[in-house]
Amino acid sequence: MTDVEPLVASPVLAGDPSRILRAERLARRVAEQLDLPEPRLERVSMNAVYRAGPCAIRICRPTTDPVAALNASRVLTDLGLRVPVPYDVRSFVDPDIDPELWATTWEHIDHDPTADPDWTEVGRMTRALHRVDPSRLSGVHPLPVAARFAWWDVAATLDDLSASLAPEWRAILSTAHERLRWVLPHLAEGLDGAVVVHGDLHPGNVVVDRRTGRTVVLDWDLLSLSRPAWDHAPLLRWEERWGGRAGTYSAFADGYGTDHTDDALTRGIAELRLLVATVMRVRASVTDESARSEAEKRVAYWAGTDTRTWIAA
């Protein structure tokens, strides 16, 4: 483990495409230990997720033992939130495969892509999360300050990319960042009123369980501390910028009990999230040509020349 801000998972590939081969080896090793069927890759994002019969094997590159995620899920369930359920109570690592990769196992959720999540219920669950005393979770899961994750430092990322970033793109993104630079300091001023937040609450992390018909909130790796606005912000611009279903945020706000549509801080966070998403796509395009067209489209949005919706990647 490294001496950094506690975080359950960092991007699993981290610019190393060959790591997916080692992730697959670890998934197979875990499946063998638990007498599960051959694992099959389902998706790669922050984690590499494999299906092995009744089990989902999540491979991550953590800075703290991911058993914390298993422990946190039990607390969240006790609080009445519908979250993934652990399959086994252990975390798994094999230094001979890759000392940075760890695995946790979860009961597989057969999600129904044709069913619409109950966003009013998601709002109610989020309200319940925000009312939790942080001490209920701080003993079992890292609770860093959400705005301190490295990817929110847009200026540093642009500096890192300076050798490969076109001057025009750098100017466009720097101008956007200057306009939004107030957001993170404003958040820091309100940490006395910080609540536990999901950290990445958007439709990609909310599914409907085909077996039960219930809405489940996934991917709690960024569980952290911030203002309530942090969990409202991702949904505020989802319809307009990502082509999401109309009415998603209004249903969420109904369930939560407060509508942040006109709240300046929530709108600022939402816009900053879009900028960070753009910078991350630009970073990916440096080594992945397939990311180039989406990066161009996103940068053009900040230049005011392209209003097409973005494609999540």
pLDDT in tens, 53-63: 999 999 999 88
**Rounded (10°) angle between helices 167-180 and 292-303:** 50
Q: Start-end ranges of CATH 3.90.1200.10 in the chain?
A: 119-303
The yes-or-no verdict on residue 134 having pLDDT over 90 is yes
CA distance 59 to 220: 14
The yes-or-no verdict on residue 211 having pLDDT over 80 is yes
Given this model, what pLDDT does residue 44 score?
87
The 3-state DSSP composition of the chain as helix, strand, coil percent (nearest 5) reads 45, 15, 40
Given this model, what pLDDT does residue 6 score?
59
Largest Cα span, the chain: 55
% of the chain exceeding 70 in pLDDT: 95
pLDDT in tens, 138-185: 889 999 999 988 889 999 999 999 999 999 999 999 999 999 999 999
Please, are residues 224 and 146 in contact by the beta-carbon 8 Å criterion? yes
Sheet with 48-52, strands from edge to edge, namely 40-44, 48-52, 55-60, 102-107, 86-93
Q: Start-end ranges of CATH 3.30.200 in the chain?
A: 19-107
The yes-or-no verdict on residue 9 having pLDDT over 70 is no
Residue matched to tokens 């230990």: 33
% of the chain exceeding 90 in pLDDT: 82
Nearest Cα neighbor of 104 from 26, 22, 10 is 26
Q: Which residues lie across from 133 on neighbouring strands? A: none
Q: Is 79 exposed, middle or buried (0-12, 13-18, 19+ CB in 10 A)?
A: middle
SS3 50: strand
The yes-or-no verdict on residue 45 having pLDDT over 90 is no
Whole-model pTM? 0.92
Mean per-residue pLDDT, 83-95:
97
Architecture per CATH, 119-303: Alpha-Beta Complex (3.90)
Given this model, what pLDDT does residue 1 score?
42
Given this model, what pLDDT does residue 238 score?
95
Given this model, what pLDDT does residue 14 score?
62
Given this model, what pLDDT does residue 7 score?
59
pLDDT in tens, 229-245: 999 999 999 999 999 99
The topology under which CATH files domain 19-107 is: Phosphorylase Kinase; domain 1 (3.30.200)
Helix (H) or strand (E) holding 106: strand 102-107
Nearest Cα neighbor of 154 from 268, 279, 4 is 279
pLDDT in tens, 263-288: 999 999 999 999 999 999 999 899 88
Helix (H) or strand (E) holding 31: helix 19-33
Given this model, what pLDDT does residue 2 score?
41
Mean per-residue pLDDT, 107-116:
95
CA distance 305 to 299: 9
CA distance 33 to 94: 12
The yes-or-no verdict on residue 3 having pLDDT over 80 is no
pLDDT in tens, 185-210: 988 876 778 999 999 999 999 999 99
